[in-house]
Structure 1
Amino acid sequence: MTRTAAAIRLRTVEGEPVDVTPGRLVVAGYTGRDQAAVRHHIDELAAIGVPEPDSIPAFYELDTDLLTVANDVEVAGEQTSGEVEPVLIRSEGRHYLTVGSDHTDRALERDDIKTSKGACPKPMAGTVLDLGDRPESLPWDEITAGCWLDGELYQDGALAQLLPITQVLAEWDSFGAGTDFDTDFDTDADDLVLFGGTMPLLGGGFRFGREWRMRLHVPGQPAVELTYTSSVREN
């Protein structure tokens, strides 16, 4: 029996309500603009047992039920961590930009990346920038993002380090067109939420904690912020 997917209530930075019902949640990986550095990172991960991706960029399609705008999320284990990412939403022909966290189970990551990503909720801010039907107009290289873990800076920099999210979206549309859309939700596969990749970690290694704050700033626009706490789910 086909179910009706729950809409996610968002607001633009101007305060206008936006309801989106994504048909797909896609997390992109290895979206760094410096492909030599991406290759080096893949080799580093392979050295500790993380399998190489099937494609670059890599695309991991997850259950849309993982999306949340809640301030608190529960995870299954102690070794989980978030990463700040630009998030592009396509809904009914319009595009919106916000900030999200690709919260991931690092203990599972060595065995299967998709499983590790699907093991955790995917928090995103409840505030979005309305891009209309022209997301390519974004001043991508001037956008900055940052992440603080338990009050300490964890990631910081310009998104010029990453492929423009519109390019990642175009690659997904080409790649995803050949994948099956299998869901028991009554929704449109063309409407999606795309996490566009992340920047290097300051200090170079994953850290685990509880309080996460993330910020995305597009020049000339109010900054979009995401704050949430993660706690281990009681069995």
Structure 2
Amino acid sequence: MARAGTTIRLRTADGQPVHVAPSRLVVAGYTGRDQDAVRHHIEELAAIGVPEPDSIPAFYELDTDLLTVGEDVEVTGEQTSGEVEPVLIRSDGRYYLTVGSDHTDRALERHDIKASKGACPKPLADTVIDLGAQPASLPWDEITATCWLDDELYQNGTLAQLLPITQVLATWESQGASGVPLVLFGGTMPLLDGGFRFGRKWRMRLEIPGRPAAEFTYTTSVRKS
């Protein structure tokens, strides 16, 4: 979903401006390459009350107004947390890759996954990697994604654990809406200690061999009622 006037101002690694007005914000879930492990994770979540997805991968289309490159992010409660994800952007016939955080309300997630994702802003780096008119043949398995929570390592690993984001895009587009300007969050890897933690300062980094890293930091605060 999109609202008129939703525009994100980004730049390439060499400083060229990129203004994106997406008509779709899509957050993909359960994109692990090991589908047996994905099924096991779904069963673990079901055991604590998290609903099973309708499909694997799952796709949650959200309002594009949730996108932000701001450093200060307001959330609605104390039980929210981020996840580092590769983000593919398509705008004006070109593709860009960056890093984002699928910040989610974990309390709400037990009842409604889409609502839990829609309850929080979706921060992303304001620096993107220009992939040209077609998604480039990136060394996907060698790309590293890292997340720190309050300066402690929270997630770290290569994207070999995930389906390539171009494959995720193709799966989503097979359901319709192909070719539209969009921002696609491509999924995340397991947490290092196996459980969600809540904090304030989140730092995300995506490292591609031979290219400048994309990274950003944001701080959360609970919105006053």
The TM-score, its normalising length taken from structure 2, stands at 0.97
Q: Aligned pair 1:14/2:14, yes or no?
A: yes
Query: Which structure 2 residues correspond to residues 140-155 of structure 1 after superposition, within 5 A?
Result: 140-155=140-155
What is the rounded CA distance, in whole Å, between the counterparts of 2:165 and 2:216 in structure 1? 19
1:67 partner letter:
L
Counterpart amino acid of 1:197?
A: G
Q: Take 1:203 and 1:176, find their aligned partners in 2: how far apart are those partners? A: 37
Q: Do residues 70 (structure 1) and 60 (structure 2) align?
A: no
Matched ranges for 1:11-50 at <5 A: 11-50=11-50
Following the alignment from structure 1 to structure 2, what is the Cα–Cα distance between the partners of residues 35 and 6?
35
The alignment partner of 2:174 has SS state of: helix
TM-superposed CA distance for 1:136, in Å, is 4.1
CA displacement, residues 70-104 of structure 1 (integer Å, 9 cap, x when unaligned): 00100000000000000000011100000000000
5+ residue gaps, structure 2, are none
Gap change, CA 1:109 and 1:234, over 3 Å in 2:
same
SS of 1:214's equivalent in the other structure is strand
Alpha-carbon contact 1:99-1:214 (below 8 Å) kept: yes
- Match for 1:193: what amino acid? V
Q: Which moved more, 1:3-12 or 1:54-63?
A: 3-12
8 Å contact 1:136–1:166 — kept in the other structure?
no
CA distance 1:133–1:232, shift in 2 (3 Å): same
Superposed CA RMSD in Å reads: 1.4
Q: Aligned residue for 2:205?
A: 215
CA distance in 2, matches of 1:114, 1:94: 28
- Give matches, 1:106-185, under 5 Å: 106-177=106-177
Q: List runs of 5+ in structure 1 lacking aligned partners.
A: 179-188
- The structure-2 alpha-carbon separation of the partners of 1:218 and 1:106, relative to structure 1 and needing over 3 Å to count, comes to same
Q: Distance in 2 between matches of 1:56 and 1:228?
A: 30
1:230 to 197, 213, 220: 220
State the TM-score, normalizing by the size of structure 1.
Answer: 0.93
**In structure 1, how many angstroms separate the alpha carbons of the residues matched to 2:63 and 2:151?**
30
CA distance in 2, matches of 1:28, 1:82: 14
The 3-state SS of whatever aligns with 1:220 is: coil
Structure 1 CA distance for aligned equivalents of residues 86 and 197 of structure 2: 20
